[in-house]
Amino acid sequence: MITFYEKDRVFKLDTPHTSYLIGIVDEENFIGHIYYGKRLKESEASYLMRTGEPPFVPSQNNRERCSFHDCFPFEYPTGGLGDYRESCFSIRTPGGHVGSMLAYVSHEIIAGKPLLAGLPATFGSEQECTTLRIVCEDKYIGMQVELLYTVFADNDAITRSVKVINTGKEAFYLTKVLSACLDMDYRDYEMISLHGSWARERHIQRKALGYGIQSVSSYRGESSHQDHPFLALVDKNTTQEHGEVYAMNFVYSGNFRAQAEVSQFDLVRMSMGIHPEHFCWKLEAGESFQAPEVVMVYTDQGLDAMTGTFHKLYKKHLIRGEYKDKKRPILINNWEATYFDFNTEKLLSIAKEASKLGIEMLVMDDGWFGKRSSDNCALGDWKVNEEKINGGLKYLVDEVNKLGMKFGIWFEPEMISPDSDLYRAHPDWAIAIPNRPATESRQQYVLDLSRKEVVDYIYEMVANVLRSANIEYVKWDMNRQLSDLGSLSLPADRQGELYHRYVLAVYEMQGRLVKEFPHLLLENCSGGGARFDPGMLYFSPQIWCSDDTDPIERLEIQEGTALIYPLSTMGAHVSDCPNHTVGRVTPFETRGIVALAGTFGYELDVTKIPQEDRDMIPAQVAMYHKYNDLVREGDYYRIASCAQNHKFDCWQVVSEDKQQSLVTYVQVLNRANFKSKRILLKGLEVDTRYQVQFVNDEKVEPKVYSGDTLMKAGLLVPNPWGDFRSVLIELKAV
Ligand code: DGJ
């Protein structure tokens, strides 16, 4: 619900458990942030903007206007006029000046949620959500800025975005347009962010917030392995179950910056948006720029509650398409099985064996097109290599279909190899700086998707392959980050638009793809999980989580990913041992149990793995079919983190009706002479009695306990014998 209190000039945005208050102050109509936190009954907290204490508002004390600008809690801070904290917005006027200030002009409260032109965003019907649009202006520049806020009837998240309109007569340049800001009082916060590298994505980092600026960011052209478009400020006592959390997550897949600044007055400014580095967007008179959406979550119930809010929002109001709420086919991908060394016979032999074991789809990974026999060449030549795929693609797909399996295929549409027919024909289609040798990465360049002819050509190449056979799944990969930013089609003063235009074009291509092929299951991927973000989730219900398939490494990666994203989105496969990335040998059972927390599939040569591993597959397949509805749709809780305790990991999912639950416990190294572990379960019904069954340990007798006992007193999990062992526990209401 959103209400405007006209007399007090206060907007009150209410979600089921939170309130967000915005105020308009003084004759100049400054827009201030009043409050974000637990739901308030009244709208009377505008004193929190401290306009009644020195330096007072400019109408009362204009000689200290600069001091006012420097401490007022701006709802959307612009810079250059005396607010010395880092702003969210910056402009270069035709005269080369940078200062700007926004004043309230008007507002409207709308049922539903408007689309954001060209961008992925959360959505909801007129019954499900309400939107506030505040129109502000800088009359000296000739510019309007619209601040957009949406609240959902069934969710505690608030979404925000910003649109800038040039209402003047001359073009100006936007050099910074962040999407969200929170100016708040500092309360001994810590910041939580997600960091990583290739094969080590989204590890949780928590550290104290100090004076000055602290940020996480990417200007790699994608959300990246290294940092993640997520930031949470939490009370230093916040745990999984208790305490305050202010979180932001960016619905965008390109450069970003998430930042917190603690100022001289112990005020904190938290912000998120497109990274201003290398960003410069020319806005002609009459044109507008739409910045992407930020999702904000506040809770005083700890990290589990934050996670629950994100998961529910994304499941219901972001992810789309046929597979949104559906069990995904169990796939087998040939990447770790064969790398580039495969042909029709090899793929069919894998498919034949896999189909006998209950696997439902074969995915042909990198290497099926052009002259691609290694990662040195042929990106852009999206024509089947009939020397490898002898008999042609349709033949292969038909044969796989005859086995009762679906067929999926890999593409890397955004790339071009210097050694490719495409590059030989169109060297100017690669992003590069003129008269400077372009920097290669994995021996490839990035296509200049700001050019419509490039997008159209590549789209048609990809779509033609999909039109040629019964292909039901696409893995859309992206294996290098952007550098050498230069487009031959953009004038000098628009080169700073390339990063963002690139992301918009990726969205456009994926939008076209899912429209033309509505039954396609799309899985995004970027050298593992470098583009695992809400922007991509708008197009694909699942994203490959990491190239590291070792189940022990995956614990930390999946814990960090699941902090924000539903388990249904996490691409997770069982692979062979020794693991190809870390060389670790783990039980096949544990590999299956860890992959069960994601989309579940295989990435191995099923004709070559040990017989005892192969024999376990039908039972794993059955387990997937038995538990996937629960894993996909249930509420997720973090019980223990091996990243913190270095001993064991534990998580739980509980069905919405609380009648069923699945607990996964993974031991890292076994240690001598220890007792069983006591774990406190979550999310159960206090008065319901549950039968507790150790699914993969028949020695432990099923017992019945109440939800109350299991949550307060806990459950004992016997120490499994051996390293990297795992335990699956099913709870059923009796
Ligand atoms: C990176 C992906 O993450 C892998 O799964 C695989 O598809 C390779 N690219 C292929 O080049």
| Dist CA 348 CA 359 (whole Å) | 13
Compute, in angstroms, the gap from residue 692 CA to the centroid of ligand 1: 40
pLDDT of residue 697: 87
Residue 715 and residue 702 in contact, taking contact as beta carbons nearer than 8 Å = no
| Dist CA 654 CA 645 (whole Å) | 24
Cβ-based burial of 452 (10 A; exposed 0-12, middle 13-18, buried ≥19): exposed
- The number of the ligand 1 atom at minimal distance from the alpha carbon of 375 is 11
**Residue among 180, 213, 199 at smallest CA distance from 544:** 199
Confidence check: pLDDT of 334 > 90: yes
| Dist CA 527 CA 213 (whole Å) | 30
Angle, helices 611-633 vs 588-595, to 10°: value is 20
Compute, in angstroms, the gap from residue 285 CA to the centroid of ligand 1: 44
| Dist CA 137 CA 724 (whole Å) | 59
- Ligand 1 lined by 523 (C-beta under 6 Å): no
- Ligand 1 lined by 565 (C-beta under 6 Å): no
**Residue among 562, 689, 682, 715 at smallest CA distance from 228:** 562
pLDDT of residue 338: 98
- From residue 677, how far is each of 75, 226, 245, 348 by CA, in Å? 48, 34, 29, 45
The residues facing 636 across adjacent strands are 653
Percent of the chain with pLDDT strictly greater than 90 = 99
What's the average model confidence in pLDDT over 336-351?
98
| Dist CA 413 CA 382 (whole Å) | 9
Q: How confident is the model at residue 610 (pLDDT cuts 50, 70, 90)?
A: very high
- The number of the ligand 1 atom at minimal distance from the alpha carbon of 603 is 5
pLDDT of residue 186: 86
- The number of the ligand 1 atom at minimal distance from the alpha carbon of 544 is 3
pLDDT of residue 451: 98
DSSP string, 677-693: EEE---S--TT-EEEEE
Q: Output the 3-class SS for 614-641.
A: HHHHHHHHHHHHHHHHHHHHCEEEEEEC
DSSP string, 149-203: EEEETTEEEEEEEEEEEE-SSS-EEEEEEEEEEEEEE--SEEEEEEE--TTS--E
Angle at 180 between CA 179 and CA 181, to 5 degrees: 140
Compute, in angstroms, the gap from residue 527 CA to the centroid of ligand 1: 6
Residue 241 and residue 258 in contact, taking contact as beta carbons nearer than 8 Å = no
DSSP string, 234-287: EETT--SSSB-EEEEEEE-SS-EEEEEEE-TTSEEEEEEES--TT--EEE-TT-
pLDDT of 670-721, one tens digit each?
A: 999 999 999 999 999 999 999 999 999 888 899 999 999 999 999 999 999 9
What's the average model confidence in pLDDT over 368-387?
98
| Dist CA 447 CA 412 (whole Å) | 11
- Ligand 1 lined by 477 (C-beta under 6 Å): yes
Q: What is the DSSP letter of 59?
A: T
**Residues with active-site annotation:** 477, 547
- The number of the ligand 1 atom at minimal distance from the alpha carbon of 526 is 3
User: Which of 335, 476, 549 has the most ligand 1 atoms within 8 A of CB, as the residue to mutate?
Assistant: 335
- Ligand 1 lined by 479 (C-beta under 6 Å): yes
The residues facing 663 across adjacent strands are 652, 729
pLDDT of residue 77: 98
What's the average model confidence in pLDDT over 232-261?
98
Backbone angles phi, psi at 508, to 5 degrees: -65, -45
| Dist CA 120 CA 407 (whole Å) | 28
- Ligand 1 lined by 541 (C-beta under 6 Å): no
Q: Which two tokens stand for residue 10?
A: 């206060």
- Ligand 1 lined by 368 (C-beta under 6 Å): no
pLDDT of residue 545: 98
Q: Which two tokens stand for residue 536?
A: 């991509």
The residue type at 723: D
pLDDT of residue 688: 98
- Ligand 1 lined by 527 (C-beta under 6 Å): yes
Q: What is the DSSP letter of 725?
A: -
Compute, in angstroms, the gap from residue 424 CA to the centroid of ligand 1: 25
Q: Whose CA is nearest to atom 1 of ligand 1?
A: 527
pLDDT of residue 699: 85
pLDDT of residue 51: 96
pLDDT of 103-116, one tens digit each?
A: 999 999 999 999 99
What contacts 412, CB < 8 A, 6 or more positions away?
366, 379, 476, 477, 478, 479
- Ligand 1 lined by 77 (C-beta under 6 Å): no
pLDDT of 420-456, one tens digit each?
A: 999 999 999 999 999 999 999 999 999 999 999 999 9
Backbone angles phi, psi at 527, to 5 degrees: 45, 45
Cβ-based burial of 397 (10 A; exposed 0-12, middle 13-18, buried ≥19): buried
**Residue among 644, 636, 688 at smallest CA distance from 663:** 636
Q: Whose CA is nearest to atom 9 of ligand 1?
A: 527
- Ligand 1 lined by 528 (C-beta under 6 Å): yes
- Ligand 1 lined by 138 (C-beta under 6 Å): no
Compute, in angstroms, the gap from residue 64 CA to the centroid of ligand 1: 58
Compute, in angstroms, the gap from residue 477 CA to the centroid of ligand 1: 7
pLDDT of residue 187: 85
pLDDT of 142-167, one tens digit each?
A: 999 999 999 999 999 999 999 999 99
Angle at 237 between CA 231 and CA 240, to 5 degrees: 65
pTM exceeds 0.75 for this model:
yes
Backbone angles phi, psi at 145, to 5 degrees: -125, 130
Compute, in angstroms, the gap from residue 505 CA to the centroid of ligand 1: 22
pLDDT of residue 23: 98
pLDDT of 534-570, one tens digit each?
A: 999 999 999 999 999 999 999 999 999 999 999 999 9
Q: Which two tokens stand for residue 89?
A: 């917005």
| Dist CA 652 CA 634 (whole Å) | 9
686: number of Cβ within 10 Å: 12
Q: Tokens 């991927």 — which residue?
A: 525
| Dist CA 414 CA 501 (whole Å) | 13
Angle, helices 452-467 vs 498-516, to 10°: value is 30
pLDDT of residue 59: 96
pLDDT of residue 698: 84
Confidence check: pLDDT of 309 > 90: yes
- Ligand 1 lined by 366 (C-beta under 6 Å): yes
What's the average model confidence in pLDDT over 132-151?
97
Q: Whose CA is nearest to atom 10 of ligand 1?
A: 366
Q: Residue 384's Cα: distance from chain center in Å?
A: 32
Q: What is the mean pLDDT of the chain?
A: 97
Angle at 48 between CA 42 and CA 52, to 5 degrees: 115
- The number of the ligand 1 atom at minimal distance from the alpha carbon of 528 is 3
Compute, in angstroms, the gap from residue 329 CA to the centroid of ligand 1: 20
Residue 298 and residue 245 in contact, taking contact as beta carbons nearer than 8 Å = yes
Residue 253 and residue 223 in contact, taking contact as beta carbons nearer than 8 Å = yes
204: number of Cβ within 10 Å: 18
Q: Whose CA is nearest to atom 11 of ligand 1?
A: 366
Compute, in angstroms, the gap from residue 89 CA to the centroid of ligand 1: 37
What's the average model confidence in pLDDT over 283-295?
98
Q: How confident is the model at residue 395 (pLDDT cuts 50, 70, 90)?
A: very high
What's the average model confidence in pLDDT over 58-72?
97
pLDDT of residue 216: 98
pLDDT of residue 415: 98
- The number of the ligand 1 atom at minimal distance from the alpha carbon of 529 is 3
What contacts 66, CB < 8 A, 6 or more positions away?
81, 82
Percent of the chain with pLDDT strictly greater than 70 = 100
